[in-house]
């Protein structure tokens, strides 16, 4: 299944951010790119809700963080085994699925440990200084041996009893076998005798009272031998393999319990790859287990998985600066950008499609894509693009509005079946942001962080029908700006309150006092509220003005000399 590509606007989105994401996702899907999905990384507001409600379109899903996490690289369909399984079962899983490690789970899928191909190898090839261990089959049962060999059962007693047994091949002369059986330190009731069609060895083994007699090569067993086995309580089975293979496979009937590594490295699914890499490199494990808080196995991953490209892909709309992007954007693949703002500091690892035009709205660029491709958007998508354009250009009254905005807005109006002025009245009368939200919500409703001259600062913007709602709120808004400045470690934090009717704005600012003193506009309140006649665009008017002030500030040493006592 193809991983989704999220088309997403900036944090604290405005109408253009949400509307352009929805419109571009529709454009992509109509071109066959079904993996492209609209998303948002911030809350909606009254104007966005009004636009989407008018055109019967749901709000895009919220994605607040795309930081790559363990869950993004883990394999959820895990090949696993349970405590009590045999080495034969484990080896068959390892061979069939070409893996190196098996999680061992208990009840409710709780992880109890792991068994690796290396641990199994150490069991099957013990040190030559301990030859007895080469024959030992610990923690097994007659039933486990039957299953391991896929053997025919002629007689079995207490086949499910767990016990330690030792395997021996009856390949010698009966006289040597008899002497060996007398001097062998292994008691008969712990012995497994593997033998072919040697009747003398078969009879002697049964009379000795061995625990299990295994006849190899699918050979016929005389009825008299079967009768003797029943009388002496010796389990008797027939293996389809030769003697050497049978002896080796019998050792595979040992359970895994004594081989389990009960403390494998574990990770939580929500741990970020960035934070986990150091811990991962400290381990030499073949694979790493992913469990929930209760210890339930959720997935597995290897060091190779960490090196694979991150599957999450982003298309950024209405911004191109990482400071404004969804959290974790720098750690995933940004494959496209569609924007109408100044170029920021974002860099990518490979060439991408970057559409950047000096128009009033990102929705304008996307509407132009529809028209150039000969596609007519649905009335709903056309109306949504109108909403983004009207909101961002103050219904074409902003200095950012261009002839292209005007032409495309008129084109969309005919498709959506609503006039631009009618939709503008609906959008701008949808409720006062200042009256309906807390001061903190107001300054974060359309809030962007910038960096210039090695200084980080923020500028928020709200549009109001007049400044009446602002009166009496300035102190609270300034305090909220001060809190934002401290929280985000900013040089200053500002709020632009724009009157849609008069095309004027008020600028509230909290931050470096020397910088604030450089603002040439008339102060109307406490030296922290300024009247900006004719300024309505944050992008085209306010930000260039602020950047100019920052670039012309004297060095810190000169500032200290000129600062008042």
For 319-357, what is each residue's pLDDT tens digit? Answer: 999 989 999 999 999 999 999 998 887 888 889 999 999
What's the whole-number mean pLDDT along residues 138-147?
A: 92
Task: Give me the pLDDT at residue 127, please.
Answer: 59
Task: Give me the pLDDT at residue 561, please.
Answer: 42
Structure tokens at 561: 């000399």
492 pLDDT more than 50: yes
Contact 221, 238 (CB under 8 A): yes
Classify 435-562 by CATH class.
alpha beta
Contact 192, 169 (CB under 8 A): no
At which residue do the structure tokens 């450089």 appear? 518
Mean pLDDT taken over the chain: 90
Structure tokens at 376: 């007519």
Task: Give me the pLDDT at residue 559, please.
Answer: 52
Structure tokens at 273: 């790859």
pLDDT tens digits for range 362-421: 999 999 999 999 999 999 999 999 999 999 999 998 889 999 999 999 999 999 999 999
Residue 519: HSE in the Cβ half-sphere, 13 Å Cα cutoff: 25
Q: Locate the domains of the chain by residue range.
A: 5-67+311-428, 71-121+258-307, 142-252, 435-562
Kindly report which listed range (161-170, 201-210, 251-260) carries the lowest average pLDDT score. 251-260
* Crossing angle (nearest 10°) for helices 362-372 and 379-393: 140
Integer Cα distance of 173 and 556 in angstroms: 100
181 pLDDT more than 90: no
pTM: 0.68
Closest CA to 239 of 189, 167, 186: 167
CATH classification of 71-121+258-307, choosing from 1.20.1270.30, 3.40.720.10, 3.10.580.10, 3.40.50.300? 3.10.580.10
Number of C-beta neighbours around residue 83 at 10 A: 14
Query: pLDDT category, 136, cuts 50, 70, 90?
Result: confident
CATH architecture of 5-67+311-428: Alpha-Beta Complex (3.90)
Kindly report which listed range (27-31, 120-124, 166-170, 545-549) carries the lowest average pLDDT score. 120-124
Query: pLDDT category, 553, cuts 50, 70, 90?
Result: confident
CATH classification of 142-252, choosing from 3.10.450.710, 3.40.50.10320, 3.40.1390.20, 3.40.640.10? 3.40.1390.20
565 pLDDT more than 70: no
478 pLDDT more than 50: yes
């Amino acid at each position: 299944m193809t991983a989704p590509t999220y088309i997403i606007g900036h944090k604290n989105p405005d109408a253009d951010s949400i509307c352009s994401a929805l419109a571009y996702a529709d454009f992509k899907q109509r071109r066959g790119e079904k993996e492209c999905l609209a998303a948002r990384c911030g809350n909606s507001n009254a104007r966005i809700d009004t636009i989407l409600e008018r055109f019967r379109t749901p709000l895009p899903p919220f994605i607040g963080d795309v930081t790559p996490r363990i869950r993004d690289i883990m394999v959820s369909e895990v090949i696993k085994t349970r405590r009590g399984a045999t080495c034969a079962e484990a080896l068959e899983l390892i061979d069939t699925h070409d893996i190196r490690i098996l999680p061992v789970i208990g009840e409710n899928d709780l992880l109890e440990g792991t068994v690796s191909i290396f641990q199994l190898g150490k069991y099957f090839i013990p040190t030559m200084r301990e030859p007895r261990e080469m024959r030992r089959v610990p923690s097994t049962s007659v039933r486990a041996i039957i299953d391991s060999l896929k053997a025919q059962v002629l007689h079995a007693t207490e086949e499910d009893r767990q016990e330690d047994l030792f395997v021996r091949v009856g390949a010698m002369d009966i006289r040597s076998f008899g002497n060996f059986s007398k001097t062998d330190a292994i008691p008969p009731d712990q012995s497994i005798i593997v033998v072919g069609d040697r009747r003398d060895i078969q009879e002697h083994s049964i009379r000795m009272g061995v625990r299990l007699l295994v006849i190899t090569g699918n050979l016929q067993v005389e009825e008299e031998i079967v009768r003797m086995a029943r009388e002496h309580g010796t389990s008797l089975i027939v293996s389809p393999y030769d003697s050497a293979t049978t002896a080796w496979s019998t050792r595979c009937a040992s359970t895994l319990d004594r081989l389990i590594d009960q403390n494998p490295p574990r990770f939580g699914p929500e741990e970020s790859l960035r934070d986990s890499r150091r811990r991962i490199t400290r381990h030499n494990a073949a694979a790493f287990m992913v469990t929930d808080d209760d210890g339930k196995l959720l997935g597995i991953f290897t060091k190779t998985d960490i090196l694979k490209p991150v599957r999450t892909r982003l298309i950024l709309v209405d911004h191109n600066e990482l400071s404004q992007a969804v959290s974790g954007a720098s750690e995933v693949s940004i494959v496209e950008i569609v924007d109408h703002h100044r170029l920021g500091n974002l860099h990518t690892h490979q060439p991408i499609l970057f559409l950047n035009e000096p128009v009033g709205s990102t929705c304008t660029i996307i509407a132009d894509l529809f028209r150039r491709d000969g596609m007519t958007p649905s009335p709903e998508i056309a109306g949504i693009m109108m909403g983004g354009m009207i909101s961002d250009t103050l219904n074409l009254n902003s200095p950012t509005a261009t002839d292209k905005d005007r032409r495309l807005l008129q084109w969309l109006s005919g498709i959506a079946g609503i006039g631009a002025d009618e939709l503008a009245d609906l959008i701008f009368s949808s409720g006062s942001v200042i009256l309906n939200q807390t001061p903190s919500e107001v300054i974060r409703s359309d809030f962007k962080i910038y960096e210039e001259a090695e200084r980080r600062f923020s500028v928020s913007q709200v549009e109001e029908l007049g400044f009446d709602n602002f009166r009496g709120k300035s102190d609270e808004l300034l305090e909220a700006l001060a809190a934002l400045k401290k929280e985000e470690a900013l040089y200053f934090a500002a709020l632009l309150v724009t009157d849609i009717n008069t095309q004027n704005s008020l600028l509230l600012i909290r931050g470096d006092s020397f910088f604030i003193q450089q603002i040439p506009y008339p102060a109307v309140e406490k030296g922290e509220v300024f009247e900006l006649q004719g300024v309505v665009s944050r992008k085209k008017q306010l930000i260039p003005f602020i950047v100019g002030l920052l670039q012309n500030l004297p060095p810190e040493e000169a500032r200290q000399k000129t600062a008042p006592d």
